[in-house]
Amino acid sequence: MNPSSSTELEVLVIDDDPFLRETVQLFLESEGFRVRSASDGEKGIELLNQQEPDVALIDLRMPRLNGIDVLREFKKIAPEVEVVMATGAATLESALSAMKLGAYSYIEKPIVDLQKDLLDVLLRAAERRKLRQTNRDLQGQLQLTRHQLEAEQRKRRTEGVGFVVDQMLRKIAAATEDQLENLILSTIPGDCPAILYIRRDRLLIPCSAKSAQLPAEHCVLPVDRFTDPGERWREGDFPGLFQHRAGALMLPLFWLGRLEGLLAIEASSSQKPSHSLLRAAADASAALLGSLATRSSAATG
């Protein structure tokens, strides 16, 4: 890790050894850190309450308030601050205990190589803090975006934008079959040319059209041409459907796993709605055709 990445990072040094405090502070400041120091744990906690550092270097053995107690207070007050413990070999076991309490790492005293034994450890600790902050910020942005999307969806439902299936179902009960067919075509936004096919036995028969002429009877389609209930749409050349264009977008209308009909939309139309609106229209249309199928079954016993 490049030492230049230490720019704007702040370290709080807490140690009762004045020589070590001054040596560490001068070295870190020469490397671009901002450094504050305290001669005991109580003063260190006061400095923490004034402003959180990125990393704290805490001596394990100090009078009155030892390093373990200081670490516990740090994790209560500012759990995001990374803590590095400084310890002599005789207290190595205590340093490992400190890591279980939330310390990032430890360094052994005396510190022989300030670059390797001190600087590199502090930079890694600061990088870990930065990554955690970045992750928290990204999670916050993601949550905000999700709330915004949910608010937009609620607004669209309130304003009646889109083709929500339950809105269409309210209109089914009192409608005749012709009215239901017109209602299905009304789900296509704008003046986009569209043709509705309804299933009759093993064939899909063109029965209604919007902004287009109803195609000839030979334009029937076999039901087995669309067998996958998960298919969202299919685009291709279907000559004879539309007067001036051969290209069409086919939206199979499955209801409870059974193909009940088909919406054919002029694929090259400049007014063709977005795929999301088309899919919503297809969902509503499938529900309407499901109603027709239910009525037909009830009428025939």
Residue 13, phi then psi, degrees to nearest 5: -100, 125
CB 36 within 8 A of CB 42: no
188, 227: one domain: yes
Six token digits for residue 93: 């076991």
Q: Could you tell me if residue 95 is inside a domain?
A: yes
193, 296: one domain: yes
Task: Check pLDDT > 70 for residue 25.
Answer: yes
Q: Could you tell me if residue 119 is inside a domain?
A: yes
Place of tokens 């550092």: 53
CATH code for the domain of 268: 3.30.450.40
CATH code for the domain of 48: 3.40.50.2300
CA–CA distance, 293 with 298 (Å, rounded to integer): 9
Q: Is the pTM of this model over 0.75?
A: no
**In this prediction, what percent of the chain has a pLDDT beyond 90?**
31
- Each residue of 43-69: pLDDT tens digit? 999 999 999 999 999 999 898 899 999
Domains in the chain: how many in total? 2
Question: For residue 234, with 0-12 CB atoms within 10 Å meaning exposed, 13-18 middle and 19 or more buried, which class applies?
Answer: middle
Last residue of a domain, one of 96, 120, 135: 135
Q: Could you tell me if residue 173 is inside a domain?
A: yes
pLDDT band of residue 72 (cuts 50, 70, 90) is very high
- The more confident residue out of 271 and 129 is 129
Specify which residues 210 forms β-bridges with.
194
Domain with 39 in it: 3-135
- The more confident residue out of 125 and 268 is 125
- Each residue of 155-213: pLDDT tens digit? 665 555 444 445 555 555 556 777 777 777 877 767 788 888 888 888 988 888 888 88
* The predicted structure's pLDDT at residue 4: 42
Q: Could you tell me if residue 155 is inside a domain?
A: no
* The predicted structure's pLDDT at residue 248: 84
CA distances from 73 to 45, 68, 69, 101 (A): 7, 9, 6, 11
Q: Could you tell me if residue 143 is inside a domain?
A: no
CA–CA distance, 273 with 202 (Å, rounded to integer): 30
